Structure 1
C-alpha cells in the first residue's frame, strides 16, 4: 500500500486526502491546528459530491497537527496556500521532509517553486496544476464543487523531453514518481495528465485565477454568479485582456478567444464554489492576491509594461 502525507487540511487537502484514502492509499493529513487533527482522526473526512449528486461518503483518515508531525515517508502533497510559506514554516518543512523525498506543489500563482527549491535542497519537487473545485464546509467535511483535472510535471522541463510510458531516455528514473502519482490519482477518480509543457499550464491557471478569484472576493459572489450581469462581464473582460497580453509574452500560447471561453467554462463548472480568495476575505485571512495579481503586475514590470487593472485589483483586495 502506498503511503503519503498531505500537508494542509484545507479544501483541496481534504478532497485529495479523502479520495486517495478511499482508493486504498495510507494517507496522513498534517493540519495547522491540533483541534482539526483530533476531529479528523475521530470522524474521518466526509466528502459531499455536488458534481454527480451522489450520497456523501465518510472515509477514515490519519491526522496529525504540524506541531506533532514526524518525518514523512518520502511522498508529500503540499496543499497549503502561498501565504503559509513563511520562514518558520519552511524550516519546519525541511525538518520533516527527508533528503530524496518527493514533494508535489499544489499552490496557486507563481514564485513558490523557487522559494521551495531554496528551502528544500536535495528533494524532488513536482508542480501540480489543478482545476478541481473544492469547498471546505467544516473541519472534517469538504464539498466537491466541480470536476476538473490535475496536471503534474517539473517546472522548467524542456518540451523535447517526453512524459509518456514509452520514454526510455535518461530521465526514466526521475519519471517513476510521476507515474506512481498518475496511477494513485486515477484510482481515486481524478483525471490526471503528466505534462512536459507545465509552464504553459501554470500561466493558463494563473490567468484564470487572476480573473475569477479577486473579482469573486471583491463582489462577494460564488464563481457561477460572476458572469451573471453585463457589468461583471465587463470587469472580467478588462482584467482578462490585460492579463492575457502580459502572460502571452511569457509563453502562454492558447488563443485569446478560446481562453476567454475557458474562463467562462470554469465559472460554470465550479458555479457552486467559493474561490479560495473569497473564503479568505470572508474569514479575515491574508489572501494570495500578491502571488496571483501581484505576480502579474511584477511580470508586466519585467517587460516594461503597465498593469493598471491588476495593480488596482491587488490594492482593492488588500484593502477589504
Structure 2
C-alpha cells in the first residue's frame, strides 16, 4: 500500500515514520525548513523511552509526485483542511481513501465535499507528538487510534486498521466514531485553550483550583452540546475525564500552547468555536467555550491583556465568564 501523509508536522512525521516500516510512504507538505531537514538529515524520532531513531522518508511539496496513493492521511491543522482535501484529490488513486486524524469538528465534511463519500473516512487518535525543531520529533506518548467502521469507503476500514496495527499503533474499528470525536473535542476544549493562554503544561490545570474548574466547565459544555444531538460520548463524565487526562499528561505541552507560543494559527475555531456554533443552533449555553475562544483569538492577534501570572489571567477569564453568564 502507498500512503501519502498530508501534513509534515509532529503527528504527520510520527505516523509517516512508523508506517514506513510496513508500507511505501510519502510525506506531502509545504514547510521549507522541515522539508530541507527531512531531505538532508532524515527524521530524528525520539521515542517515549528516550531512545532516538533516524528514519529517511520520501517527502515532497508537489502532490503529483506522490500519486497514486491508496491512503491519504490528513494530519494538518483544521484551518488547512480545505487545502489538504484539494491536495488529496490530486494524489489519490481512483479507489483511494483519505482518512482524517485531526482535532476539531468539520474535517470529514470538508473531505467528503471535495472527494466524495466513498473516498473519505474518519479517524481519532490519542497518540501524542511534539516537534522540537525541524526534522526532530518526540513521540510524547502512546495512545489508541480508532477508524470509523464505514462500509461505504473504497478502502475497507479493516485494511487501514490492519496496516496501523502492523506499524505498531494500537488501533481498532469504532461504530461510534462521531461520539469519539466529540469526546476528544470535550478534552481538547477543556485543556488546550487554557494551557495556551496561560502558557502552562497540562498538569497546571489539574493542580490549580480555578484552572481545574474552568477546564471541567468547558468540557461539560461540550458534553451538553453533544447530548442535545443524542451523541453518546465514550465516557460518562466529561469533566472528570478532562481532569484524568490533564493528570495523565501533566508534563505535556498542548499543541495549541505550542502553536500560540510559536506564532502559528491555532485550531480554536474548530474546537471552542465549533462548540459555540453548535450550542447557539441547539439552544445550549456555552459561555466558557465562548470566552476561551475569544481569549485565544485575542492572544493570536497580540491584543490579549497582559497579566503578570497565570493566576491573574485565570481571574480575568473567570470574571469575563461570570459576566457573560449573567447576560
Q: What TM-score, normalized to structure 2? A: 0.84
Q: Residue 167 of structure 1 corresponds to which residue in structure 2?
A: none
Unaligned runs of at least 5 residues, structure 1: 158-170
Query: Does structure 2 retain, via aligned residues, the 8 Å contact 1:14–1:141?
Result: no
**For residues 242-265 of structure 1, what are the alpha-carbon distances to aligned partners after superposition, in whole Å with 9 as ceiling and x for unaligned?**
222222222343487643332223
**For residues 213-242 of structure 1, what are the alpha-carbon distances to aligned partners after superposition, in whole Å with 9 as ceiling and x for unaligned?**
111111101223321211211211222222
Matched, 1:57 2:57: no
Match of 1:142 among 124, 137, 143: 137
Structure 1 residues 140, 266: CA separation in 2 closer, same or farther (over 3 Å shift)? same
Distance in 1 (CA, whole Å) between partners of 2:90 and 2:268 is 28
Query: Does structure 2 retain, via aligned residues, the 8 Å contact 1:4–1:72?
Result: no
Distance in 1 (CA, whole Å) between partners of 2:234 and 2:112 is 32
Q: Residue 44 of structure 2 corresponds to which residue in structure 1?
A: 46
Q: Residue 239 of structure 2 corresponds to which residue in structure 1?
A: 260
1:1-320 matches, cutoff 5 A: 2-21=1-20, 23-50=21-48, 53-66=49-62, 69-86=65-82, 90-121=85-116, 123-153=118-148, 171=151, 174=153, 177-254=156-233, 258-320=237-299
Structure number with the bigger relative contact order (C-alpha 8 A, sep ≥ 6) is: 1
Query: Does structure 2 retain, via aligned residues, the 8 Å contact 1:145–1:271?
Result: no
Structure 1 residues 144, 70: CA separation in 2 closer, same or farther (over 3 Å shift)? closer
Alignment size in residue pairs: 299
Q: What TM-score, normalized to structure 1? A: 0.85
- Secondary structure of the 2:271 match is helix
Unaligned runs of at least 5 residues, structure 2: 300-327
Moved more, 7-16 or 297-306: 297-306
Distance in 2 (CA, whole Å) between partners of 1:178 and 1:255 is 20
Distance in 2 (CA, whole Å) between partners of 1:268 and 1:41 is 38
Structure 1 residues 47, 269: CA separation in 2 closer, same or farther (over 3 Å shift)? farther
Query: Does structure 2 retain, via aligned residues, the 8 Å contact 1:34–1:64?
Result: no
Moved more, 53-62 or 193-202: 53-62
Query: Does structure 1 retain, via aligned residues, the 8 Å contact 2:182–2:222?
Result: no
Query: Does structure 2 retain, via aligned residues, the 8 Å contact 1:146–1:273?
Result: no
Moved more, 128-137 or 269-278: 269-278
